[in-house]
Structure 1
Amino acid sequence: MSHPSYASDTTDNRGSFLRSLEVIGNKLPNPAILFLLLIFGLAALSAVLASQNVTAIHPLTHKLIPIKSLFSQEGLHWFMTDMVKNYINFPPLGMILVLTLGIGLVEKTGLMESLIKTAIHTIPKRFITFTIIIMSFMSHLASDAAIVVVPPIAAMVFYSMGRHPFVGFACSLAAIYSGFTANILIVTTDVLLSGITTQAAKIVDPNMIVTPVDNWYFMCFAVFYLAILTTIVTEKFVEPRMGKYMGEQTVFLEKPSGLQLSSLKAAGWSTLAFVAILVALVAPEGALLRNPETGGIPGSPFIKGIVPLLFLFFLTVGLTYGIKARTIKSGDDAVKMMTECVRGLAGFLVMVFAIAQFIAAFSWTNISTLIATSGADFLKSIGMTGLPALLCFMLFGQFMGLFIASGSAIWSLLSPVFVPMFMLLGYHPAFIQVAFRAGDGAFNTIQVVNPFLPLFLETLKKYKEESGIGTYLSLMMPYALSFFAMWYALFIFWYLMGLPVGPGVPQRLW
C-alpha cells in the first residue's frame, strides 16, 4: 500500500483553539532541538536546586536524596560516560527497530493491503471505528509493543476507506495510551502494579496481598464503557472537525483478488501453526516458556519476550504471504523490504537521541523524585478524607504522568505514601490502586516526556509532510480531555455505588 510522502491539505473544520494549538505547536523547534533545549533548562534548574542543598526523602527507604547538578563535575562525568548508554538502552528504541523489521515485511509483501481490503468488505462500515477501538484496548496484552503496532494500522484502515487517517491513528492511540491498563484480560501491568501495591500495603498489614485480578471488575467494565464513548467522541466530534482528507491517495475499496485471498488463507494457516506452537511452549505445566522459578506465566520468558515473539510472528506470516503471493521470490527480496522500512526511521533515530538524554538526565538529577515526594507530602498534610482525598490523589498522579513516562515508576514512588495512608482511613489497597490507574492514563498522549513521540510524528508525516508537535497535540487534545472526564466519571460512579473492584475485593477494609 502506498502513502503520500509529500505535503497534503485537509479541510480543517476544528475549533479555533485546536487550530491555534496546531499553528503554535508547529512553530516550536524540531523535537530533537526542543529536547536539547530542555536539557539545558533542566541543567540550569538542577544547578540552582543543588546550590540550595535541596533534598527529597525516598518514601520507601526514607533516605535523603539530594538534587544533583548537571553543571557539576559529577554531572559532566555522568554525561560523558553514560551518553551512549542512555541512547542504546532507551527502552522503546530496540523494540521499535525490531518490530519495524517485522511490520515492514508484512506491509511490503502486500499482506496488510489484502487484510484491510478483506476487513473493509467483511466488517460493516458503521462498526469499523468501534472495532478498531476495542482491538486497541485488547492489544494491551502486548504492553508497549501495542503502541508501535496498532495505531499505524488503524490509520491505514481509515486511509483505505477514504476516511481521514489521522482520525484512525488518534482513536486507536487514545484507546491504548489514554485507556492504558483497561483490559478484559489480565496483562503484565496488572501483575506489575499489584506487586508494587502489595509491598506498600505490608507497611500497614504484613499479611495483605493484592493479586493481579483484584482490579478486574473495574477494568473489564472500563473497556466497554470507554470504547462506546470513544467511538462517539471520534465520530461525532473529532472526525467531522478534521474534515475530508485531501491527500492524493489510492483507496483500496475493491475486493481482494483470488491470489490475495489464497495468500491470506496461507497466512492464516501459518498463524494457527504459530499460535499452536506458542501454546505448546506456554500452556503445559513445566513448559519451556514458563517462569523457571515459579512455574507460572507471570515473569516468564513468554511475558518478557513478547517483542521477539511478535517479530517472529510477523516474520512467519509475512514470509508465508509473500512467497504465496509471489511478492517474495528470493531471500534478497525480504531483506530489501525490511531495509527499506528501517531506512524510513532515520528521523526517528535522531529525535530519540535527544529525548533519551533528557529523560535520563531528568532521572539522574533526582528532580522527578523531588516532584513526586513533595506533592505526596502536600496531599498528606492537607488531611482530606473520602472522595475529595481520592480525587486529589488521582489528580496528583496525573500531574506526575506529564513528567514521568513510566506509570509503574510513578506508582513505585507514590504507593509507599498513599497506600498506607488510605488503608489507615479504611480503604482496601486494591481500591487505592484503581484510583491511581483511573487517574494515571488520560493525559498519556500529551505528556511532556513521551518516549514514543518521534514514532507518532513519523506516522503522521506519512500522510501530511509538514506535521509537527502542534499537529499531534491538536489531534490528541480532544481525546485527552475526553478520557479525563470519562475516567473520573467512572471512578466517581463506582465509588458512590460501592461496587467491588475485583473478585471478593470491596472498596473498604471495614
Structure 2
Amino acid sequence: MTATSARGTGGAAGTEPDRLPRVLRALAVVERLGNALPHPFWLFWILAAILGMTSAALSAAGVSVISPADGEEVVVENLLSGEGLAMAVETAIDNFAGFGPMGTIVAVIMGVAIAERTGFLSAAMKVSVSRVPVSWVVFAVAFAGTVSHVASAAAYIILVPLGGLAFRAVGKSPILGVVVAYTSIASGYDASPVPTPNDAIFAGITTEAAQIIDPSAYVSPVSNWFFNIASSLVLATVITLVTNLVLAKRPDLDADPDADLDDVASLELTPRDRSALRLAVLAGVVALAAVVAAVLPSSSPLRGEDGSLTESPFLGGIAAVVAVMFALVGTVYGVRSGSIAQAADVPRLMAEGVRQMAPVLVLFFAIAQFLQYFKWTRIGDVIAVNSANALETTGVPIWLVFLGILALLSLVNVLVTSGSAMWAMAAPVVVPMLMLLDVPAETTQALFRIADSGSTAITPMSPYFIMALGFLQRYRKDAGIGTLASYTLPLAVCMTIAWTCLFFAWWWLGIPLGPGAPVR
C-alpha cells in the first residue's frame, strides 16, 4: 500500500518535494527486508541450525572460558553431537512446559480476557478519553494508550478508533486523534503503569538469560514497575507537547469532505453500561483494599522471611493477583451489563482469551527449544565473558555500552516487531554480558523496553501499522504508508529520546526499578 499523491505522502503538498520521496523509499526498503524474513517460528529454528553449526566449529576449536562464578573452565558443547541430539529429544517437552513465561502469561490472559470480552476495558477507555477537558484530551488519549497495554493487541483495536472519535468530539482533527492513539500504544508499548502480559513474558525470558550466570536468579513481572509508571507519564507528556507544538500546526489535518463522521456517538455509554462500570470499579477498589490489608501486616503469610515484601509469596504470585483482579472487575461488569448471562460464560470467555493466544504459544515452543540449546552449548557464557572482559579492558564507559545496545536493538525492532521474539534472541547475550559488568538483569530489561517500543510506530512491518493506516483512511482515503509514518516519526523520535534520558537519570540517581529490583 503506497501513497499516490503529494498529500498521500504525508506532508503539505509541494512543501517538501525531496524529503518525502526519501521517506517513502526508506520505508519501502524496510518493508522489503522485513517481508524477506521468515515467520518468527521458523526464524528460531533457523537460528537453532546456525547455533548447531557454530557450536560444532567452536567445540572442535576447543573454545572455552573461565567462569567468573566458580572459577571452573566452561567448554563449548557441540549441539550436533550425539549428546546434543539426545538432549534435544529428551528435553523437548520439558523445555516447552517449563518455559518461564508459559504459565504466567496463560493465567494473566484468562483474567484479562474476561475484562476485555465483557466490554469493561472498552468502557473504561471510552470514559478515560471522553470525560476530560478539551485542553487535556491529547494527554488523556496518550496516557490511555500506555494503560491500554493490559489488553495486549486488543489495545490497538479498541483505542485507535476511539482516539479519532475523542478528538472529533472536542473539535480537533480526528486524523490527529488516530495518530496520537496509535503512537502512544506502539512507541510506548512497554511503559504501562499497570502490570501487563508482556511484563510476564519479558520477566520469564530475562530470568532464563540471567540463570546463565546465576542459576538462582529470578526476575519478577513487576521488576520494572516503578520505572514503567514514570515512563508512562513522561511519554504521555512528550506526546502532548509534540502534538500541540508540532503536529497540530500541520496544514493537512482536515478530514475528507465525504468522510463518515457520524460515529461520534459511539463514545457514549448506555445507562446500563455506565452503571456496570461504576459497580466494577467499586468492586476493584474493594478488592485492592483487601489485598493491601492482607499484605500490609509484617506478620502476613504473604510476606517473606523477616516480613520482607521484595522476596515474598505475594510478589512471587503477583501475576495470579493481577489475573484475579481483572477477572473480578470483568465479571462484575459483565453480570451488570448483561454480557455475562450465566456462570458458564466466565470459563467460556477465559477459553476465548487463551485461544487468541494460540499463535504466541506456538512461538513459545520454538523459543523454548532455542533457549535450551543456547544454554546447553555454553556459547552464551563464552560470548558474555569475552565481551565483558573486552569492555573492561578497553575501558568503555557503561553509558556508552547502554547506548550501543539500545541503538542495535532499536534497529532490529524495525524488522523483528515481535517483542518476545526479539528479546528471546537478545537476552541470552546481553543480560549475562551486562551482569558480568555488575548491571542487574532488571536494568538490562528496562533498557530493552525502550528499544522494543520506540521504533514500532514507524515500521510498516508491524501489522498494527497497517491496521492504524486503515483507521486513518476512514478520514483520509488517499493516506498511505508515508502519510502515517510522517505523522508518527516526530512522536517516535522524541519519545525514544525522552525515554532514554529518563533511563539514564534513573540510573544516575540509583532509584529502584521495581520492588526488590535495584537499578545498579
User: Same fold per TM (> 0.5)?
Assistant: yes
Preserved contact between residue 68 and residue 366 of structure 1 (Cα < 8 Å)? yes
The Cα shift of 1:222 comes to 6.5
Unaligned residue ranges in structure 2 (runs of 5+)? 11-19, 165-173, 215-223, 413-421, 456-460, 471-480, 513-520
Work out whether 1:57 is the aligned partner of 2:59.
no
CA distance in 2, matches of 1:25, 1:224: 32
CA distance in 1, matches of 2:149, 2:466: 17
Aligned with residue 278 of structure 2, among 224, 248, 265: 265
Aligned with residue 107 of structure 2, among 98, 107, 111: 98
CA distance in 2, matches of 1:260, 1:303: 33
1:390 corresponds in structure 2 to 398
CA distance in 2, matches of 1:376, 1:124: 52
Preserved contact between residue 114 and residue 350 of structure 2 (Cα < 8 Å)? yes
2:118 corresponds in structure 1 to 109
The Cα shift of 1:262 comes to 0.9
Amino acid at match of 2:73: L
3-state secondary structure, aligned to 1:290: coil
CA distance in 2, matches of 1:463, 1:34: 26
**Gap change, CA 1:343 and 1:484, over 3 Å in 2:** closer
Amino acid at match of 1:360: Q
**Gap change, CA 1:383 and 1:319, over 3 Å in 2:** closer
1:355-366 equivalences under 5 Å are 355-366=367-378
**Gap change, CA 1:174 and 1:373, over 3 Å in 2:** farther
Preserved contact between residue 31 and residue 351 of structure 1 (Cα < 8 Å)? yes
Preserved contact between residue 362 and residue 368 of structure 1 (Cα < 8 Å)? yes
1:374 corresponds in structure 2 to 386
Q: Which stretch shifts more, 338-347 or 257-266?
A: 338-347
CA distance in 2, matches of 1:90, 1:70: 20
Preserved contact between residue 174 and residue 445 of structure 1 (Cα < 8 Å)? yes
What is the Cα-based RMSD across aligned positions, in Å?
5.1
The Cα shift of 1:112 comes to 2.2
The Cα shift of 1:127 comes to 3.8
The Cα shift of 1:275 comes to 0.9
1:277-296 equivalences under 5 Å are 277-291=290-304, 293-296=305-308
Unaligned residue ranges in structure 1 (runs of 5+)? 1-6, 140-145, 201-214, 420-431, 448-455, 466-470, 504-510
CA distance in 1, matches of 2:79, 2:320: 36
1:329 corresponds in structure 2 to 341
Preserved contact between residue 105 and residue 337 of structure 1 (Cα < 8 Å)? yes
Kindly, what percent of the aligned residue pairs are identical?
24
2:325 corresponds in structure 1 to 313
The Cα shift of 1:233 comes to 5.9
The Cα shift of 1:115 comes to 1.8
1:120 corresponds in structure 2 to 129
3-state secondary structure, aligned to 1:285: coil
Q: Which stretch shifts more, 151-160 or 246-255?
A: 246-255
Aligned with residue 159 of structure 2, among 152, 157, 167: 157
Amino acid at match of 1:340: E
Preserved contact between residue 272 and residue 337 of structure 2 (Cα < 8 Å)? yes
2:34 corresponds in structure 1 to 25
3-state secondary structure, aligned to 1:393: helix
Q: TM-score, normalised by structure 2?
A: 0.66
CA distance in 1, matches of 2:364, 2:357: 10
CA distance in 1, matches of 2:466, 2:279: 33
**Gap change, CA 1:433 and 1:309, over 3 Å in 2:** closer
The Cα shift of 1:258 comes to 0.8
Work out whether 1:341 is the aligned partner of 2:353.
yes
CA distance in 2, matches of 1:400, 1:136: 26
**Gap change, CA 1:248 and 1:354, over 3 Å in 2:** farther
**Gap change, CA 1:489 and 1:182, over 3 Å in 2:** farther
2:518 corresponds in structure 1 to none
Aligned with residue 46 of structure 1, among 44, 49, 55: 55
Instruction: Kindly tell me the number of residue pairs found equivalent between the two proteins.
Output: 433
The Cα shift of 1:234 comes to 7.2
The Cα shift of 1:437 comes to 7.8
**Gap change, CA 1:286 and 1:412, over 3 Å in 2:** farther
**Gap change, CA 1:243 and 1:64, over 3 Å in 2:** farther
1:37 corresponds in structure 2 to 46
